[in-house]
Amino acid sequence: MKRAIRFVAIGLLVLLIGGCFHLDQKAVNSEELSLILNEDGSISIKALKELTGIDVIVAASIEEEAITVGDSLLKIVTQSDEGTTRIAIVSTSSNIMEGEEIARIDGNFTTLKNLVISSSAKYLEIPSPKPQAKPPFPDGISIVDGSIDKASEGYFLVHAENVNGFAGVEITITYDPQYIIIDKSKGEQGVTPLNSFGTGLLIVQHTENSIKITTAFNSAKSVNSEYIYQIHFMASLVEGKTLIGLSGELRDANTGMIQTTFHDGEITIGGPKLIGDFDNSNKVDLPDFILFARSYGSVLGGEGEYIETYDIAPAEDKYQGVWAGIYD
C-alpha cells in the first residue's frame, strides 16, 4: 500500500513539474523562426534559416517602441482592437542569415505559452534580368515603365544597364501626344540628366511627337546600372496605356559605333491601382513589404537603386465604387 502511494506521489510530482514547464514555456519554434524568452523578460526572435522577411502575430498589445531591430531591417507594427499585435520585419539589403537575431521585444514576459498566434517567413531570390522595361533591367538603355493620374504632371525615367566605353549618346524618344505632352518648362527643355550624365554636354530637340537627346563627354564613360535621364511631361485627360518608343546610338571616343540595345517602355494614364501591391497579387502582404524595403531610403539621382514604383507618397482615396475606402 505504501509503495502504491509512493508511486502515485511520484506520478503527481512528474505531472506537476511537466505542467509547470509547459506554463513557463521558454521557447517557441517553427521551421523558420525561434522565439526565445530571455531572463530579463524580453523576447528574442531568431532566424532558423536564411530569410528575407517575417510576419508574426502575438496575443499581446506591444508598443512599436518596445520592438528593436537592426539598422538593415524595417518593421511595421500594428495593434488590433482584440489586443493582438502584428509584427512584420524585412531586410532592406541582404537576407537575414540563419542564427541571426531579427528582433528583441522588451517587456516583462514570464511565458511564451499561447503567445504566438501565427508566424510566417519568406525567402525571396532576386530574379535574373529579363528583357523588359522595368526592374530588373536588361542590358542597354530602357524607358522605365510607369503610371500617372490623368491631367497631372509627372516624369518617366531612362535607365542604362552595363553600357561601357561611350563618349557620346544620342537617343530619340517617341510618344503619343494624345496621352502625354513634354513639359519644356522643367529641366533642359523637359529633360534632366541624372548621375553620370549630369557631367555631359546636353542638347535637346523636339518634334510634335518625339524628343531627341544628345549628350557628349570629354572622355569615355561606363555605366553599370543607373538612371540617366528624367523626362518631364503632363498627362492628358485620356486614360489608358501608351507606348514610349526608344531608339538611338552610342559612340566611343574615336566616334566608332557601340553595339547597344534599346528597350521601349509603357506609361499607364489614370485608373485605380492598389497602392503597395508591388507583386500584383491583388493584396498587400509580406512579399510586398520586402520589395518596398529594398528601395527604402533611395533618392532619385542619389545613392541607392531608386525605383519610382516604390515612391508611393502621397496616397489618396480617389476612386469610388468597389475602390471606395482604398488608397488608389
Cell of 63: 508598443
131 prior amide bond cis, ω within 30: no
> What is the H or E stretch that residue 127 is in?
none
Dihedral of alpha carbons 194, 195, 197, 199, sign: positive
26 near 38, Cβ under 8 Å? no
Q: Domain coordinates of the chain in residue numbers? A: 30-122, 140-271, 272-299+314-328
Please identify which residue in the block is written with the cell numbers 557620346: 168
Does this model's pTM top 0.75? My answer is: no
Per-residue pLDDT of the chain (328 residues; tens, 9 = 90+): 444 444 444 343 333 333 333 334 888 898 999 999 999 999 999 999 998 889 999 999 999 999 999 888 889 898 999 999 999 998 877 788 899 999 999 999 999 988 888 888 877 765 433 344 567 899 999 999 988 878 888 899 999 999 999 999 999 999 999 999 999 999 999 999 999 999 999 999 999 999 999 999 999 999 999 999 999 999 998 888 999 999 999 999 999 999 999 999 999 887 666 667 666 676 777 777 777 776 766 776 665 566 666 676 655 555 444 434 444 4
> What is the H or E stretch that residue 31 is in?
none
Same fold, 30-122 and 140-271: yes
The string over 158-185, giving b where at least 16 C-beta atoms fall within 10 Å of a residue's C-beta and e elsewhere, is bbbbebeebbbbebbbebeeebbebbee
Which architecture, in CATH terms, is 140-271? Sandwich (2.60)
| Per-residue confidence (pLDDT) for residue 323, from 0 to 100 | 39
CATH of domain 30-122: 2.60.40.680
